[in-house]
Amino acid sequence: MRRIRREIAELEAIRPAWLELWARDPLSTVFNHPDWHLSFLRALSPESLLAITSEGETGLECIWLLQGGTQRAGGGERTLHFLGDPFADYARPSLAPGSDVDAAVRTLLAALRDEAVPMAILNEFRSDDPLPERIAALAPECGYRAIVEQGTACPRISRTKDPAIFTRKFRRSANQLRVLKELGQLGDQRFARMTSREEILACLPEFFVLHTARWAGIGETIFVSPAMRAFYTEIVTTMPLEMIFFTSLRVGERIVAMDLDFAHAGCLYWYKAAFDITMPKVSPGLALLCHLGRAIDDAGFHTLDFTRGEEAWKLRFANEVVHNRRAIIYRHQRSRVKLSLATWARQGIVRDLARRQRLKYALVTGRTALRKYGPLGLLGHQVRRTIRRQLKTTTMLLFRSGEPDPASAPLGDDLVVRAGSMADVFAAAELVDHVDMGRYVRSLLARFRWGDELYLAYLEGELVHAAWVAYRQRIFIREVKQEVWVGENTAYIYDCYTSPLARGHGIYTRVLRWITAHAVATKGCAGVAVACASDNPESRRGIEKAGFVFSKKVHQPRGGKR
């Protein structure tokens, strides 16, 4: 009996039977586990959920999970694809072992026909999955056409062809030994797998920051989105713990690389890896892979699946490359023509620009520049910066801590200031609302690596202010493009930002006083310095109210040269 389910609650109700069906399916993977799909639904709430189930005398026999909407690949028509696409590296329905594959395919095609779906693009079938061919053969029975195409490559390391492959790749490779030796010169290396959910959840915020900084400007920074962070947090919270393979590599007390993988049926699926971009010369990501390879060799895994992507480093390690496949189901030839044209249009320079996010960045930056600088913003960043430098040089006013103004308000019961950690990076970035969140998160990570501290202020429980404090004798002030001597044993407060909705309550002044007292009491600082632009009277007024006195002017050299 075929049944259509459209609500998350309906799927949660059949989870026990669904989980049993998944466990019995010999071709099941991590990416069609019930908890994976339920986590995706709870966190991202995709539109037009279509769960097609087939139930027999023995219970649940088949379940297809699709999501819909308008997709560019379909030329603007409503197009269905697998639930979780494109975040699942492998996709397929859950089928009972020994069940009729043709019956499962007919269940799908009949549901598409009844729902009047013009096109369905089912990506990421495994190479050994028989479903794509059966879909192509049976589609005409329901008035559809279907074609099967080769999809993305999936490199892997398999013991099937070479039982000693892991030993050769990760224990005897001269390059691997060199990487581990260079990294070991910075401190003791500690590779560990997190064995409890509490440990994994505690490490996730730093993992999100490292991953975002790694891909900022060169790829898809998915963890900038709060919904995506919620999705992966939900995965770690709900999926079976034995399937989650979360590892970290520390050098001393510093985490330099982290990896979120999944284990199932003797195969480890490499999924999301992140490493510290501030130390690329010692290859922390490669060192993590070496430790991981040794760990899974000791654990007896027969395959390390690098999942989708033909990156050079994957091909260097892999001894086998298989290709996923996709089935395209369409009713009319015009849908197929639209798909072909859309695919062709995305190739070349347009696809490259979209991949690197340059087009989006240029549009957002141009719109922001036009709003901020008026017609001058249309001239472009380099031209605008050159003109502004010739017309006016930037001047920063440096202040040092003195006696606070008795009339200025104390911190008060409504304002709470606390030290931030790596887990607060995204909160600080969202407060500032930078035009390029990925690059901004990368810069915040670098500040933590320099030893700078983040402080956050909450007004009645809501984040309203962020400030950074550096403990160095010489400070680079980016507004004037030069280093400035602030003195020994002196804390420097910089990059302060107050939410526009909370301005006018003296928050800046109160935070400056609190940080000053905190630096003197806990860090043993002899003084505190802060700077502001000469054309920012509001900031200068708040600094002087906090007890700071003017020290000197710092000018940007003419032409912007240091």
Residue 102 has pLDDT above 70, yes or no: yes
Tens digit of pLDDT for each residue in 234-284? 999 999 999 999 999 999 888 999 999 999 999 999 999 999 988 878 889
The CATH number of 393-560 is which of 2.60.120.650, 3.30.70.1230, 3.40.630.30, 3.20.20.70?
A: 3.40.630.30
Residue 480: its pLDDT value, please? Answer: 82
Would you state the structure tokens that stand for residue 178, as one six-digit string? 């060199």
Is 249 in contact with 255 (CB distance < 8 Å)? Answer: yes
Give residue 280's Cα distance to chain centre.
19
| Residue 382: pLDDT band with limits 50, 70, 90 | low
> How far apart (Å, rounded) are the C-alpha atoms in residues 391 and 339?
52
Peptide bond just before 132 cis, omega within 30 deg: no
Q: How confident is the model at residue 383 (pLDDT cuts 50, 70, 90)?
A: low
Q: 161-301: which CATH topology? A: Aminopeptidase (3.40.630)
Residues of the chain with CATH 3.40.630.30: 2-151+325-355, 161-301, 393-560
Whole-number Å distance between alpha carbons of 299 and 287: 18
Which CATH architecture best describes the domain 2-151+325-355?
3-Layer(aba) Sandwich (3.40)
Spatial distance between the Cα atoms of 447 and 413, rounded to a whole number of angstroms = 30
Instruction: List, for residues 30-70, the tens digit of each pLDDT value.
Output: 999 999 999 999 999 887 899 999 988 778 899 999 998 54
Q: What is the average pLDDT score of the chain? A: 86
What is the per-residue pLDDT across 475-487, written as a single tens digit (0 to 9) for each? 888 888 888 898 8
Percent of the chain exceeding pLDDT 70 equals: 84
Distance CA 110, CA 113 (A): 5
Give the separation between CA 323 and CA 52, rounded to whole angstroms.
27
pLDDT in tens, 316-366: 999 999 999 999 999 876 665 666 665 555 555 445 555 555 556 566 666
Residue pair 547/391 in contact by the 8 Å Cβ criterion: no
Give me the residues paired with residue 149 across strands: 326
DSSP for 397-417 reads: EEEEE-PPPTTS----TTEEE
Question: Which tokens belong to 135?
Answer: 């879909």
pLDDT of residue 479: 82
Q: Is 77 left (phi over 0), alpha (psi -120 to 50) or beta?
A: beta
- Which spans in 28-100 are helix H? 34-44
Predicted local distance difference test score (pLDDT) of residue 438? 85
The pLDDT of residue 84 is above 60: yes
The two three-digit tokens of residue 126, written as one number? 């495994």
Return the closest-CA partner of residue 466 out of 489, 440, 484. Answer: 440
Average pLDDT over residues 501-514: 90
* Residue 74: predicted pLDDT: 42
